[in-house]
Chains A and B, each alone.
Chain A
């Protein structure tokens, strides 16, 4: 069974701080995705990384896929209250058809 562990589970910071969320597994994934979920909504895709070592930037968010394609990180620079939400990583195995979701990181950014 493929498992994805995220850390930290909860994070409460002040506006302007930087933070990093980690997503780790003992399994290799063909691709990894990051989603953000806000209260009352379903998860929304932020990014997909496919190549080991790949780094993608989305404004103040930087995503990295580990060289061995077993782990990933999300770094947010100068966090803002609008970044508040549940961040979920999701890994796709061979065949792509089923995503395995991580345990989630709940982020609260206070003004």
Chain B
């Protein structure tokens, strides 16, 4: 079974540009989550999509947006890039299991803003 796949692995942009990151969930998973991980520490919740709809949003400005496609894959867009947007962006998909949401993560997309 293929895991969660993310692309690109690395992305280098300059301030003011736009970045688009992509995620394919595990087959059968309908929920996709996006997290930002800066400095190799804790994860900050960005967005949650389920069945094509945005279900929840973290404390990030509107220039962070995304969407989920009919095949449940997802895209994260970051507009007007700022230096502090440099981070590892992790996508996860979920299957409700044993009363607790279990996330399976991809390897991430590392965004560097110069």
Residues of A within 8 A of B (CB): 1, 4, 6, 9, 30-31, 33, 40-45, 48, 50, 86, 88, 90, 92, 96-104, 106
Complex interface: chain A residues within 8 A of B43 (CB): 43, 88, 90, 101
Inter-chain contact total with CB atoms closer than 8 Å: 74
- How many angstroms between the C-alpha atoms of A47 and B48 in the bound complex? 22
Given contacts A33-B100, A40-B107, contact A101 B48 (CB under 8 A): no
Q: Say yes or no: A106-B40 contact (C-beta < 8 A), given A43-B105, A97-B101, A99-B103.
A: yes
Query: What 12 new A-B contacts, CB under 8 Å, besides A33-B100, A42-B4, A42-B108?
Result: A4-B42, A6-B42, A31-B100, A42-B105, A48-B98, A50-B100, A96-B100, A97-B48, A97-B55, A98-B33, A99-B101, A104-B42
Q: Closest residue of chain B to A32, judged by CB?
A: B100
B102 touches A98 (CB 8 A): no
Chain B residue at minimum C-beta to C-beta distance from A9: B41
Kindly list chain B residues whose C-beta atoms are within 8 Å of the C-beta of A88: 42-43
Specify the main secondary structure of chain B where it touches its partner: strand
Query: In this assembly, does B25 line the interface, its C-beta being within 8 Å of a C-beta of chain A?
Result: no
Could you tell me if B92 and A96 are in contact, using CB atoms closer than 8 angstroms?
A: no
Nearest Cβ distance between residue A10 and chain B, in whole angstroms? 10
Residues of B within 8 A of A (CB): 4, 31, 33, 35, 40-45, 48, 50, 55-56, 59, 90, 92, 96, 98-108
The smallest beta-carbon distance between B106 and chain A, in angstroms, is: 5
* Residues in A neighbouring B90, C-beta threshold 8 A: 42-43
Q: Report the Cα distance A97→B45, complex, angstroms.
A: 12
For B104, list chain A residues within 8 Å (CB): 45
Give the residue of A31, A50, A103 whose beta carbon is less than 8 angstroms from that of B42. A103
Q: With A96-B101, A98-B56 in contact, do A86 and B45 touch (Cβ < 8 Å)?
A: no
